[in-house]
Amino acid sequence: MTLLAREAMHASLQDPVLESIGFLNEIMSRYPGALSFAPGAPHPAPYTELNTARYIDRFVAHAASTSRTPDMAARLLYEYGPAQGLINDIVADALRRDLGIDADPDSLVITVGAQEAMLLVLRALIASPDDLLAVSDPCFVGITSAASLLGAGVQAVPEDADGLDVDALSEACRAARRSGRRIRACYVAPDYANPSGTRMAAERRLRLLELADEEDFLVLEDNAYGFTAPPGTELPALKSLDTGRRVVHIGTFAKVCFPGARVGYVVADQIVRASDGSAVTLAAELARLKTAVTVNTSPICQALIAGMLLEHGGSLTELSRTRSVLYRRNLAHLLQALDRETVGGLPDGVEWNRPEGGFFVRMRLPVPVDAQLLEISAAEHGVLWTPMAPFHPGGGGTHTLRLSCSYLGPERIDEGVRRLVAFLREYAMPGTATAVVGGVSQ
């Protein structure tokens, strides 16, 4: 039998983030009866009765009406298709209509979810060990995992209630220069970030773009949760403010359509100039990289998403309307349940934030929040959540957990909060740490 030493393989295989994700999946399988605030997955209700055939037919009819014959349009679904995508014009129109992002279809790449977009962009931009990716701390593990896979250095930048601390990022740029390195790109999720739920203030968005010009880095904008903003509170996407082509805008249809399609996109309208003077868009370069990763995004899945957009007048806002109502309802319900169930009090030091949108609430405890505490919560109280330490590339988060409101309905949120509060009253006090033996505390 051939034995491989993990230490002799790529370092990303030993990334603690991957270990934490594996543990979370494993504990969910061991406690199937536990109510789980762990997954940030979309709620299944909007797509349980999805008529996929109708949406695909809708796209085929559209394609046939725009210079292709019906036979040619249908054949598009069964071939590999262009690496850059089939539905770029439809997505570009929706971005222009709803987010004020004036993107040429040729500046888009349709990707296998936002995760592939992140991987491709990092592979293109991070060219040497001296190139660093700046991220907020805490940060979505998808981007830090992609950086780990590519061996890219990550610079953690703190955030506060108004989002990424731009002054701290400015200092990080100067510190990197002093050490002979540079911040090549900065990843941000300006609207209701995963996992913190923070939202970047309007003036800070402008300052970030100014700093990107001053320090010559690109901003990677992740727009997964902007659609959940309460009506009338919307803030402009960074890309819509981008007069200097500093922003690479990354989006996904997982939340507004459904995750199983695995369709995302990236707007990369920056110009790449070769030594011979020729020039192409960054999107074209990302498409070249994509041919070595996934070749192309499933044409059938692209057609399905495009058909859903077309069915809703080509509007992301209309497409996401019922989903945004559902998620705002769930978030409000979670916060109300926490208020209601904690009237009798909680141990000192238990506190949580109150985001207005997104999927997540962040809770701080006065005790370490780790795998052992999660095991106790699952075994004794039947409730799961996500420890936040893996979301902190700069260290920290050891006393914080994340609650996701997206996947559960109101009644299960109520019951989950009752279980959570009972657990907190028993174990969220210094000195109550216990050993877990055989799945129960001793």
- Give the domain CATH number at 122: 3.40.640.10
User: Is residue 296 domain-resident?
Assistant: yes
pLDDT value for 97:
96
Among residues 290, 314, 338, the one where a domain terminates is 314
**Per-residue tokens: 420:** 């959570």
Element housing 280 (H / E): strand 279-281
Whole-structure pTM value = 0.93
Pick from 272, 282, 210, 198: nearest CA to 241? 210
Q: Answer yes or no: is pLDDT of 436 > 70.
A: no
User: Is residue 180 domain-resident?
Assistant: yes
Peptide bond into 138 cis (omega under 30): yes
**Per-residue tokens: 358:** 């997104």
End-to-end CA distance of the chain: 40
Higher pLDDT, 6 or 217: 217
b or e along 33-56 (b: 16 or more beta carbons within 10 Å of the residue's beta carbon)? ebbbbbbbebbeebbeeeebeebb
Higher pLDDT, 23 or 360: 360
**Per-residue tokens: 279:** 């020039």
pLDDT value for 68:
63
Asked whether residue 381 falls in the same domain as residue 299, the answer is: no
In terms of residue numbers, what domain contains 352? 15-40+319-428
CB 120 within 8 A of CB 111: yes
User: Is residue 33 domain-resident?
Assistant: yes
Among residues 264, 280, 314, the one where a domain terminates is 314
Asked whether residue 266 falls in the same domain as residue 236, the answer is: yes
| Rounded Cα distance, 367 and 398, in Å | 9
For residues 341-348, average pLDDT = 92
pLDDT by residue (tens digit) across 362-411? 999 999 999 999 999 999 999 999 999 999 999 999 999 999 999 999 99
pLDDT by residue (tens digit) across 229-268? 999 999 999 999 999 999 999 999 999 998 999 999 999 9
| Rounded Cα distance, 257 and 398, in Å | 34
| Rounded Cα distance, 350 and 365, in Å | 5
pLDDT interval class at 435 (50, 70, 90): very low
Identify the CATH number of the domain in which residue 386 sits: 3.90.1150.10
Asked whether residue 189 falls in the same domain as residue 309, the answer is: yes
User: Is residue 99 domain-resident?
Assistant: yes
Looking up tokens 């061991």 gives 30
Q: Answer yes or no: is pLDDT of 271 > 90.
A: yes
Asked whether residue 254 falls in the same domain as residue 384, the answer is: no
| Rounded Cα distance, 408 and 401, in Å | 17
Q: Answer yes or no: is pLDDT of 198 > 90.
A: yes
Asked whether residue 309 falls in the same domain as residue 323, the answer is: no
Asked whether residue 198 falls in the same domain as residue 324, the answer is: no
Asked whether residue 302 falls in the same domain as residue 361, the answer is: no
| Rounded Cα distance, 279 and 295, in Å | 23
Residue 236's CB: how many other CB atoms inside 10 A?
16
Asked whether residue 393 falls in the same domain as residue 245, the answer is: no
pLDDT interval class at 92 (50, 70, 90): very high
